[in-house]
């Protein structure tokens, strides 16, 4: 069972987390949801298309202009409060590695802290515990926030992913984060080259086998682009293929830009696996 905010998700229920960037320089949408109006419209559309979680981020992952904790909070805290007011049942996640921002967004109504930088600020887990919210524990290969990997190497990338993410998850629970609200994430592209991310996907079943629910953030990432030699705006098919494989191997939560397309892929995989009946069944029955 996975419990986030007011929602409880059963074992074979795939969960979509829609990305809402409150940044002017996102690698994908280039600031399309930086202003409140478009961002709220994005939340409304994502929920209508089947997203159970919205993931709000105030700093882009890659290198760029410096964003202070104060500015990150300015971009996210008021928006979290407004989403909480308008969508009381949606799970609100905030993508941050800073405990100061985590504290502020939890007070505003966040249900989940998405720590994409693998515990770079150990106090973030303490914030999650204090507020009783969920935590995403990610493998970032020890990389500093907002840096790109350089000549990174692992003896066994999945062994390192398991060591780090399970360790972070167990620490979170020991601090008081509810066990049923902790997720682990292999961190595609974070502290990894393309071959590492492909291997992490191929061996995702090993993560699912730990018993911790697995979140994957695959959407339009560089490892998809390099694998297929496609620019950012031509990576949807590669993303959806990776999503299908991840679903088959046991991932539970999918952080995405394209909600409707992801929903169809996840429904199809769930039906093939026998966890979901067809929406209609007429062929050969008349």
Catalytic residue, candidates 22, 192, 221, 235: 221
Q: pLDDT at position 133, please?
A: 98
With both helix axes pointing from N to C terminus, report the angle between 99-108 and 123-131 in degrees, rounded to the nearest 10. Answer: 20
Let me know if 195 is a catalytic residue: no
Let me know if 171 is a catalytic residue: no
Q: Which residue has the tokens 């997203």?
A: 51
> 220 vs 9, 110, 280, CA distance in Å?
26, 25, 31
Distance, first Cα to last Cα, the chain = 39
Q: pLDDT at position 286, please?
A: 75
Q: pLDDT at position 215, please?
A: 98
Phi and psi, residue 265, nearest 5°: -60, -45
Catalytic residue, candidates 42, 75, 192, 255: 255
Q: pLDDT at position 265, please?
A: 98
Predicted confidence pLDDT, tens digits, the chain (286 residues): 999 999 999 999 999 999 999 998 887 777 788 899 999 999 999 999 999 999 999 999 999 999 999 999 999 999 999 999 999 999 999 999 999 999 999 999 999 999 999 999 999 999 999 999 999 999 999 999 999 999 999 999 999 999 999 999 999 999 999 999 999 999 999 999 999 999 999 999 999 999 999 999 999 999 999 999 999 999 999 999 999 999 999 999 999 999 999 999 999 999 999 999 999 999 999 7
Among 151, 79, 164, 48, smallest CA distance to 116 is for 164
Q: Write down all domains in the chain, each with its CATH number in brackets.
A: 2-7+45-273 (3.20.20.20)
Instruction: For residue 21, list its beta bridge partners.
Output: 57
Q: pLDDT at position 27, please?
A: 75
Cβ-Cβ contacts under 8 Å for 145 (sequence gap 6 or more): 97, 117, 120
User: Tokens at residue 231, please?
Assistant: 């620019």
């Amino acid at each position: 069972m996975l419990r986030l905010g007011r929602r409880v998700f059963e074992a074979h229920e795939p969960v979509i987390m829609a990305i809402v960037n409150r940044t002017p320089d996102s690698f994908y949408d280039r600031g399309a949801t930086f202003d409140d109006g478009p961002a709220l419209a994005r939340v409304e559309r994502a929920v209508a298309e089947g997203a159970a979680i919205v993931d709000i981020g105030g700093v882009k992952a890659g290198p760029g202009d410096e964003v202070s904790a104060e500015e990150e909070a300015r971009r996210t805290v008021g928006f979290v409060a407004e989403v909480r007011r308008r969508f009381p049942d949606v799970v609100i996640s905030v993508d941050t590695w800073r405990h100061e921002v985590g504290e502020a967004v939890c007070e505003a109504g966040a249900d989940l802290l998405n720590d994409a930088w693998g515990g770079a600020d150990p106090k973030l887990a303490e914030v999650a515990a204090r507020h009783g919210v969920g935590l995403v524990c990610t493998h970032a290969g020890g990389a500093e926030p907002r840096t790109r990997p350089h000549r990174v190497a692992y003896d066994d990338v999945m062994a390192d992913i398991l060591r780090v993410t399970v360790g972070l998850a167990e620490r979170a629970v020991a601090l008081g984060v509810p066990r049923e609200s902790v997720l682990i994430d292999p961190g595609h592209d974070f502290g990894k080259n393309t071959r590492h991310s492909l291997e992490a996907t191929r061996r995702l079943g090993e993560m699912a086998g730990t018993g911790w629910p697995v979140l994957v953030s695959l959407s339009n990432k560089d490892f998809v682009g390099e694998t297929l030699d496609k620019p950012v705006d031509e990576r949807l098919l590669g993303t959806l293929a990776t999503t299908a494989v991840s679903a088959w191997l046991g991932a539970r939560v999918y952080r995405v830009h394209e909600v409707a397309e992801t929903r169809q892929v996840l429904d199809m995989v769930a039906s093939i696996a026998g966890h979901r009946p067809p929406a209609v069944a007429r062929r050969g029955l008349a």
